[in-house]
């Protein structure tokens, strides 16, 4: 009685499934993959109708004749088809993938026994290469592999269904048997924070600088500092999502990598935003170790720390390195001044700010493969290391980390979770999940942020960032020019030119980080990267119809 109960009740569902599998054969009904839209509802990834043709060798009456007919319909070799149709060891064989409607209509008209077809859509990307590393792509079976396609595959993919045919033991359809239909559940769609207009604009600008400077790569990220929404991510060179180089895995891996999230680099002088923010905040708190805002930094062009000499990149005025304030040090991008700040604050305090600004850990963006950067453990940091971290050396960050840190430094000190996706919804419009602004922690006070922003506005108005200046729009920012390292040594003649800027300075709405890797000829961030930010900001101003800001 116990065994009878187990079989009839406990084991019932599994036995039923096993029996069903014995007396039926299945034709898959593929779920429609969800679409991907930009923040405005513009389609960035969708589907076009396609079909996959199957066969059951046991149900094919004449393999030779059937293969001849199919070869004519499909335009493929008869011998290969006959070989497949003669293989009785497999219950189901794929004859043709992703074919068009005309092919299956012709196939249906022939009514060939043992041959079937099912809808199996092809993924299409209306804008080709636009945001290709962000969107990612799908594999041959339609599942998400990289980018948003991969990260949100569980939502986009849906659930496949089946058509069940009753057959005999060898898989031949039974006469007058009925078919059971298990419908597929289509995938949900995704709306991004990304704005395809800003993305397209940024790609045009970065494509131009890539060509003109003959650089190795050009990258840009545009954020909304009020909530860290990702409005654009540009990684060049890129590739067409409708023509993926699957036969060259090395090229595909390089071109499909979202370096803004997954790669790290020494930020150079753009990092001085963080150092300045830390010093200003500690001064407002009354920390006696912080250098006051009116502190005059020494005119010496060098600082020697632990036997290591650190130089300023240039003389400032008339061939002479002059005394200067913090605002002037930012304008002039003077390394020794930021050495003074880092050493004055000390290792413990400075590392507290590095942690607050998110360095050494992931930002938590909804994207796979995020880098955490390289930050020396506090316990082993020497003064010479701390001195170099102060001006953006001996530390490696992801571009996303730096963009988020800069945004937090100038938006009032609020550090949010960066997000690519706004909401997940079904095609009937019902929202399943929605991303809300998420404050992670504070970095500096609003007063410190305001003071810093006024200084960075001066960098664009009067200092090294002049080529990002736009009359009437209060652009602020910081340039950076960092030497590259190869095999632990400085690579002669190889630089990373960068600029992080935003506007309006008093209420940031758009922040852009520009990175040009190994530009030829001029390599300073002030001459290579800053003009790109200006052009992107001018495009946004025209696109959004933004009015000039009152000073």
The catalytic residues are: 269
Sign of the Cα torsion 366, 370, 372, 373 reads negative
Q: Is the peptide bond before 448 cis (omega within 30 degrees of 0)?
A: no
**Is residue 222 helix, strand or coil?**
strand
> Residue 204 and residue 201: Cα distance in Å, rounded?
5
CB atoms within 10 A of CB 48: 11
> Residue 355 and residue 15: Cα distance in Å, rounded?
57
> Residue 416 and residue 433: Cα distance in Å, rounded?
19
Kindly state the DSSP code that residue 103 receives in the 8-state scheme.
Answer: H
DSSP lists the bridge partners of residue 498 as: 480, 515
CA dist list (Å): 17 to 23, 170, 179, 352: 10, 18, 16, 59
508, 540 contact by CB (below 8 A): no
Residue with tokens 């569902």, as numbered in its chain: 13
**Is residue 430 helix, strand or coil?**
coil
Burial 156-184 (b: 16+ CB within 10 A, else e): bbbebbbbbbbbeeebbbeeeeeeeeeeb
Cβ neighbors of 59 (< 8 A, separation 6 or more) are: 113, 114, 167, 171, 172, 173
Angle between helices 196-213 and 530-544 (to 10 degrees): 150
Residue with tokens 């299956």, as numbered in its chain: 104
CB atoms within 10 A of CB 101: 12
502 phi, psi to nearest 5 deg: -160, 165
Strand ranges (DSSP E) for 195-246?
Answer: 217-224, 229-236
- The phi-psi region of residue 472 (left if phi > 0; otherwise alpha if psi is between -120 and 50; otherwise beta) is left
407, 500 contact by CB (below 8 A): no
351 phi, psi to nearest 5 deg: -70, -30
Q: Whats the size of the chain, residue-wise? A: 551
Cα 443 to the center of its chain, rounded Å: 24
Tokens of 228: 């860290």
CB atoms within 10 A of CB 3: 8
């Amino acid at each position: 009685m116990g065994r009878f109960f187990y079989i009839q009740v406990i084991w019932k569902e599994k036995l039923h499934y096993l029996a069903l599998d014995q007396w039926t054969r299945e034709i898959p009904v593929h779920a429609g993959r969800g679409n991907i839209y930009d923040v405005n509802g513009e389609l960035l990834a969708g589907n076009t109708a396609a079909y996959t043709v199957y066969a059951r060798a046991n149900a094919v009456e004449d393999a030779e004749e059937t293969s001849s007919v199919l070869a004519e319909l499909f335009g493929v070799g008869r011998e290969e088809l006959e070989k497949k149709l003669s293989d009785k060891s497999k219950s189901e064989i794929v004859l043709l993938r992703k074919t068009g409607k005309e092919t299956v209509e012709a196939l249906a008209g022939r009514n060939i026994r043992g041959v079937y077809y099912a809808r199996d859509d092809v993924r299409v990307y209306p804008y080709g290469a636009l945001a290709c590393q962000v969107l990612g792509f799908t594999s041959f079976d339609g599942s998400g592999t990289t980018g948003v396609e991969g990260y949100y595959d569980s939502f986009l993919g849906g659930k496949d269904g089946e058509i069940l045919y009753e057959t005999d033991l060898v898989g031949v359809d039974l006469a007058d048997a009925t078919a059971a239909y298990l419908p597929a559940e289509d995938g949900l769609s995704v709306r991004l924070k990304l704005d395809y207009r800003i993305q397209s604009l940024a790609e045009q600008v970065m494509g131009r600088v890539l060509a003109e400077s003959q650089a190795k790569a050009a990258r840009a990220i545009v954020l909304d500092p009020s909530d860290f929404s990702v409005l654009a991510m540009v990684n060049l060179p890129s590739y067409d999502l409708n023509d993926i180089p699957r036969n060259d895995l090395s090229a595909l891996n390089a071109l499909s990598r979202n370096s803004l999230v997954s790669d790290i680099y020494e930020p150079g002088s753009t990092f001085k935003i963080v150092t300045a923010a830390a010093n200003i905040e500690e001064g407002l708190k009354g920390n006696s170790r912080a250098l006051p805002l009116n502190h005059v930094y020494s005119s010496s062009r060098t600082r020697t720390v632990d036997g290591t000499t650190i130089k300023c990149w240039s003389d400032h005025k008339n061939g002479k390195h002059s005394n200067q304030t913090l605002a002037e040090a930012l304008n002039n991008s003077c390394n020794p001044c930021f050495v003074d700040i880092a050493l004055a604050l000390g290792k413990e305090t400075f590392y507290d700010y590095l942690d607050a600004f998110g360095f050494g850990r992931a930002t938590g963006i909804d994207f796979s493969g995020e880098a955490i950067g390289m930050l020396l453990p506090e316990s082993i940091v020497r003064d010479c290391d701390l001195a170099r971290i102060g001006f953006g050396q001996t530390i490696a960050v992801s571009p996303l980390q730096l963009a988020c840190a800069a945004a937090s430094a100038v938006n009032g000190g609020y550090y949010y979770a960066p997000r690519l996706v706004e909401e997940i919804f079904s095609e009937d419009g019902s929202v399943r999940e929605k991303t809300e602004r998420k404050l992670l922690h504070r970095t500096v006070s609003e007063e410190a942020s305001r003071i810093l922003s006024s200084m960075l506005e001066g960098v664009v108005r009067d200092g090294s960032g002049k080529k990002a200046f736009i009359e009437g729009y209060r652009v602020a920012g910081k340039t950076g020019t960092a030497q590259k390292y190869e095999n632990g040594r400085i690579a002669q003649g190889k630089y990373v030119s960068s600029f992080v800027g935003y506007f309006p300075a008093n209420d940031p709405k758009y922040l852009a980080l520009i990175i040009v890797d190994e530009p030829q000829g001029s390599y300073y961030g002030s001459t290579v990267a800053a003009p790109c930010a200006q052009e992107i900001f001018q495009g946004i101003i025209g696109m959004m119809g933004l009015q000039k800001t009152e000073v």
